[in-house]
């Protein structure tokens, strides 16, 4: 069942077939590495620390306008899985390792492509049964490469691709052929036990790429929000790279009453609460053997009366020993989260300068619009963080934290307060309706708690930043972030008033039970009667932060809003975006992610748009960069998103400058 491998979709010439077989016979990795650049985008975030930076300079501000598509690969999902595709998002960032591009489809097929032509080299189908996941939005953001330096180069599975699936499997494949590695787990796979009966098969899945440490392959999990308080645990798990045997696990919820920070959880919560999972990508410092986790909120998101306290290590950057899983340090970015302000992005490992010396730090962008910059060894803030008073709950049974952490620098990269005077309206009655909605709701700025009357949550639960994270230029010390600036209206519903007909709905229904607590909840975008967001413009932005001094270098709107508000001319209002930037040494960066289906290039110093290309479907993914045969390529997945309601597709597209005659 788990060995189904599909060969190339297009005919291969006899010469190509001969060369491919020759390369396999002498060692796939060793042979194919010859024409590659010294740098390989071999991890989801470019490098293990997630900088999303490539030291390339062939494409510059002067010639980027000449970029053109040079190959396009289609996964086949558009033609073969139209019904499932309507519940999916192609969010993958391919990686380049030892002569092949590797990627996954939303349905966890793993594919190897020729970097020069985009031709399929092999394909592995894990046979995920989409029909078993009727409530799912399928997604897979990436796969991971590992070479066993102790194995002979031509040994089967000496080089491996690790992938994880919607049905909670970790799979090891031979990088050269796509055949499962029989010595890993059972027939090449390890099945994750959720530890609790799931409400539906997709309540818990794995969407981000695994991480490889010195000894282990490590995975987190994505768990559906707001269904219940007694939910699956957000355990991070490590498995032996060769055998798949369990090595260690880390549960961000403190279960032991005698352990540090146990007093930040109620006794009931220690026994029953779930989540605090790591659904976003993780980072790894190989020299320090330190794994950096961005943890999420405990269950459920919007009511914490059954989990009183700060809830450490939830909503935190947690540094673990990569070999043992032991905690080195943690830094909590939100105390007792009741806003779904989990950490949505990969912690970025960078080096800054202070008083003439280099300091290794981790930069964490958040849904609130803050960036926390922390010492990589201690977790102490590199830029000062203050505990400031915040609005308090008026909901019976709830106790919110009196303060929250606010970085003194850098400044927020999105707006954090919206007033009735800010309300957008294309005609007066539209604006007035938005203002009335704001005035009738709790709206006291960032960290206003959910309420029975309704609370404006701004930024909304999609960010600020989301899983696209940030990119970092290590020479200029500039971070690039795409931020979302829309608002949600969150309302708690007393259990007696919660309709029975809602109780079996999944987390995407926007009305969810939060079973096991006193309140259900409703969540909706703050929209006008004419269907436009009430939030002021821009609805999405790009920000460059100069981390030499923690200041904003430039900021501007990002994306045309014609997909939100149809118009015969370009509406430069900005849009929500999902996906991150890819930076180059030449001082330009590439980014897609917006609802207008465009891939763009910008000048990192000024924010000037240098080039754009309309994609055949939404590009809700982070681009990647590589060099091959003396040519620099930019690759983007364009598959749209059912969640963002953008045009669907199954395209992997590579761009390059015209070849010289």
List the catalytic residues.
340
3-state helix, strand, coil in the chain (%, to 5): 10, 35, 55
- Cis peptide leading into residue 459 (ω within 30°): yes
What are 31's two structure tokens? 């042979």
Task: Report the SS3 class of residue 507.
Answer: helix
State the DSSP code for 377: T
CB under 8 Å to 338, separation ≥6 — which residues?
A: 301, 302, 303, 304, 393, 398, 400, 449, 450
Q: How many CB atoms lie within 10 A of CB 175?
A: 26
CB under 8 Å to 482, separation ≥6 — which residues?
A: 465, 468, 540, 541, 542, 543, 558, 577, 579, 580, 581, 591, 593
C-alpha span between 502 and 270 (Å, rounded): 28
C-alpha span between 253 and 330 (Å, rounded): 13
537 in Cβ contact with 573 (< 8 Å): yes
C-alpha span between 461 and 566 (Å, rounded): 25
C-alpha span between 618 and 641 (Å, rounded): 7
State the DSSP code for 196: S
Question: Across the strands, what pairs with 101?
Answer: 96, 113
State the DSSP code for 591: E
114 in Cβ contact with 123 (< 8 Å): no
C-alpha span between 93 and 44 (Å, rounded): 6
C-alpha span between 538 and 577 (Å, rounded): 12
Question: Across the strands, what pairs with 317?
Answer: 294, 331
Question: Across the strands, what pairs with 432?
Answer: none
State the DSSP code for 288: T
Task: Write phi, then psi, for 429 (nearest 5 degrees).
Answer: -65, -30
209 in Cβ contact with 496 (< 8 Å): no
Task: Write phi, then psi, for 383 (nearest 5 degrees).
Answer: -105, 140
C-alpha span between 518 and 498 (Å, rounded): 10
C-alpha span between 605 and 60 (Å, rounded): 13
Report the half-sphere exposure of 518 (CA within 13 A, side-chain side): 11
Least Cα distance to 535 among 425, 370, 444, 442 occurs for 425
What are 661's two structure tokens? 């005659």
C-alpha span between 186 and 171 (Å, rounded): 10
Task: Report the SS3 class of residue 14.
Answer: helix
448 in Cβ contact with 442 (< 8 Å): yes
């Amino acid at each position: 069942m788990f060995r189904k491998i599909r060969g190339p979709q297009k005919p291969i010439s006899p010469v190509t077939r001969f060369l491919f077989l020759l390369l396999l016979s002498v060692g796939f990795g060793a042979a194919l590495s010859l024409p590659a650049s010294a740098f390989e985008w071999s991890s989801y975030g470019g490098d293990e620390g997630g900088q999303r930076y490539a030291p390339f300079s062939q494409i510059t501000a002067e010639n980027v306008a000449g970029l053109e598509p040079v190959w396009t690969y289609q996964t086949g999902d558009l033609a073969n899985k139209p019904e499932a595709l309507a519940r999916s998002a192609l969010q993958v960032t391919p990686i380049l390792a030892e002569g092949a591009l590797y990627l996954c489809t939303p349905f966890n097929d793993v594919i190897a492509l020729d970097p020069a032509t985009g031709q399929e080299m092999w394909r592995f189908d894990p046979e995920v049964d989409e029909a078993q996941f009727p409530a799912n939005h399928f997604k897979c953001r990436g796969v991971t490469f590992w070479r066993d330096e102790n194995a002979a180069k031509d040994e089967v599975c000496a080089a491996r691709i690790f992938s994880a699936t919607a049905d909670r499997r970790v799979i090891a494949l031979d990088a050269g052929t796509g055949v499962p590695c029989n010595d890993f787990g059972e027939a090449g796979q390890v099945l994750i036990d959720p530890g609790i009966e799931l409400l539906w098969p997709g309540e818990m899945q794995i969407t981000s790429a695994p991480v490889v440490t010195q000894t282990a392959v490590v995975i987190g999990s994505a768990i559906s929000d707001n269904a219940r308080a007694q939910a699956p645990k957000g355990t991070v798990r490590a498995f032996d790279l060769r055998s798949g045997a369990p090595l260690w696990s880390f549960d961000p919820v403190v279960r032991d009453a005698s352990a540090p920070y146990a007093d930040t959880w109620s006794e009931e919560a220690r026994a029953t609460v779930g989540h605090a999972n790591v659904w976003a990508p993780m980072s790894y410092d190989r020299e320090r053997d330190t794994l950096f986790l961005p943890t999420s909120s405990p269950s459920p998101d919007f009511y914490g009366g059954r989990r009183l306290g700060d809830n450490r290590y939830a909503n935190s950057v947690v540094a673990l020993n990569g070999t043992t899983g032991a905690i080195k340090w943690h830094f909590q970015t939100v105390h007792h989260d009741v806003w779904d302000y989990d950490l949505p992005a990969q912690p970025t490992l960078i080096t800054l300068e202070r008083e003439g010396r280099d300091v290794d730090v981790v930069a964490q962008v958040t849904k609130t619009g803050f960036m926390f910059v922390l010492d990589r060894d201690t977790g102490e803030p590199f830029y000062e963080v203050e505990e400031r008073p915040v609005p308090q709950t008026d909901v019976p049974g709830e106790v919110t934290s009196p303060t929250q952490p606010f970085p003194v620098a850098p400044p927020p990269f999105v707006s954090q307060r919206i007033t009735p005077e800010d309300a957008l309206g294309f005609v007066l009655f539209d604006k007035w309706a938005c203002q009335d909605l704001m005035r009738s709701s709790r709206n006291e700025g960032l960290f206003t708690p959910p309420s029975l009357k309704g609370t404006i949550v701004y930024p909304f639960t999609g960010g600020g930043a989301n899983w696209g994270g940030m990119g970092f230029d290590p020479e200029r010390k500039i971070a690039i972030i795409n931020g979302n600036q829309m608002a949600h209206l969150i309302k708690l519903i007393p259990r007696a008033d919660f309709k029975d007909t809602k109780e079996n709905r999944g987390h995407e229904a926007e009305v969810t039970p939060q079973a096991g607590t006193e309140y259900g909840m409703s969540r909706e975008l703050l929209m006008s009667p004419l269907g436009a967001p009430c939030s002021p413009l821009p609805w999405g932005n790009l920000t460059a932060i100069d981390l030499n001094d923690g200041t904003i270098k430039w900021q501007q709107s990002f994306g045309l809003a014609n997909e939100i508000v149809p118009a015969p001319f370009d509406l430069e209002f900005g849009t929500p975006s999902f996906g991150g930037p890819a930076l180059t040494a030449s001082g330009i960066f590439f980014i897609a992610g917006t609802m207008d289906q465009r891939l763009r290039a910008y000048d990192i110093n000024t924010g000037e748009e240098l080039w754009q290309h309309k994609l055949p479907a939404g590009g809700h993914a982070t681009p990647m960069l590589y060099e091959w045969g003396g040519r620099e390529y930019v690759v983007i997945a364009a598959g749209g998103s059912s969640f963002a309601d953008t045009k669907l597709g199954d395209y992997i597209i590579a761009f390059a400058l015209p070849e010289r005659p």
